[in-house]
Amino acid sequence: MIELWSDFIDRIRRFYRERGYIEVSTPVLLRFPNLDPHIEPIPVNVTLRGREERRWLQTSPEYSMKKLLARYRRDIFQIAKVFRNREQGRLHRIEFHMLEWYRVGGDYRDLIDELRDLLRELMGYADFEELKVEEAFRRRFGEAIPPSEEAMREFLSGAGLHYEEDEDWETLFYRAFLEVERDLGRGKPLFLTDFPERLCALAKVRGGRAERFELFIEGVEIANGWTEETDPHEVRARLVREAEKRGLPLDEEFIDVHSELPPCAGCSVGLDRLFMIFAGRESLADVEFLKG
């Protein structure tokens, strides 16, 4: 199994290097947390020059890589360890490996094409499917995505799905979408596209839809990518909302570098999950050296 993992990682590195990407390495311990919705960062207290200060383990290398991207404007990739609190189960670990890459001048469609090529070379897939988020929701529930929090609560009640009264629309949506995603990518990998604007994260939005996708294989979410929003004012507005909602500090330097960020697209891949499928396993626990 460890030989299989070594070959798996080597082939991924070779794929990106052959396409002109430069491999980078960035800090794991950050001065500010990643502000990812529904992902819980892990605080760490450190002592510097006799003073105790708070740092954060990265939930992805996104912030650090975008700072490099703004400076060097080159296609870059990284295979990094990331950390997310309160994550445990068949498909979740607090610590896991992530592949992240950024393509200068590209958009989310370019990333989908690259992922197709990677999966063909790495795992032999020949056929792929694409499905819009709205279509996936209709396929599972037979109706459109409810547009308001009140309508979403009524929908969840009617579907017999649990929710909390104080949850916002996005949280309510993902409660329903858990029922959708378990059937995605059965038989062949599926790219889920055209996310509602309220699920844009840091993706560029056009025509009320986020230029964002997720990749599913056998009901497992593998990748998440988008055309990057480069307007620092828009990025600030989105991150301020998230920081205030969760009481977390804001990385002003990360916001400022967007004024220097070239048009680009970025994607992250959960490598432990992809390797689990690559190795023909059903759970991360079946890959012994990934147990932790």
List, for residues 152-204, the tens digit of each pLDDT value: 999 999 999 999 988 999 999 999 999 999 999 999 999 999 999 999 999 99
Nearest to 60 by CA among 41, 75, 87: 41
Res 273: pLDDT: 97
Q: Check: CB of residue 99 under 8 Å from CB of residue 111.
A: no
Residue 85 CA from chain centroid, whole number: 15
Nearest to 137 by CA among 163, 164, 156, 150: 156
- State the average pLDDT over residues 141-148: 94
Question: 2-128+188-290 — its CATH code?
Answer: 3.30.930.10
Tell me phi and psi for residue 107, to 5 degrees: -130, -175
The whole-chain average pLDDT of the chain stands at 95
Cα radius of gyration rounded to whole Å, the chain: 19
Least confident of 19-23, 37-41, 105-109, 120-124: 37-41
Model confidence band, residue 291 (pLDDT cutoffs 50, 70, 90): low
Single pTM value for the model: 0.94
289 pLDDT more than 90? no
What torsion do the CA atoms of 81, 87, 92, 94 make, to the nearest 10 degrees?
Answer: 20
Res 190: pLDDT: 98
Nearest to 269 by CA among 102, 126, 105: 102
Residue reference for tokens 């947390």: 33
Model confidence band, residue 129 (pLDDT cutoffs 50, 70, 90): very high
Residue reference for tokens 């649990």: 162
Res 38: pLDDT: 87
The domains of the chain are located at 2-128+188-290
Res 185: pLDDT: 97
Res 292: pLDDT: 56
Residue 190 CA from chain centroid, whole number: 15
290 pLDDT more than 90? no
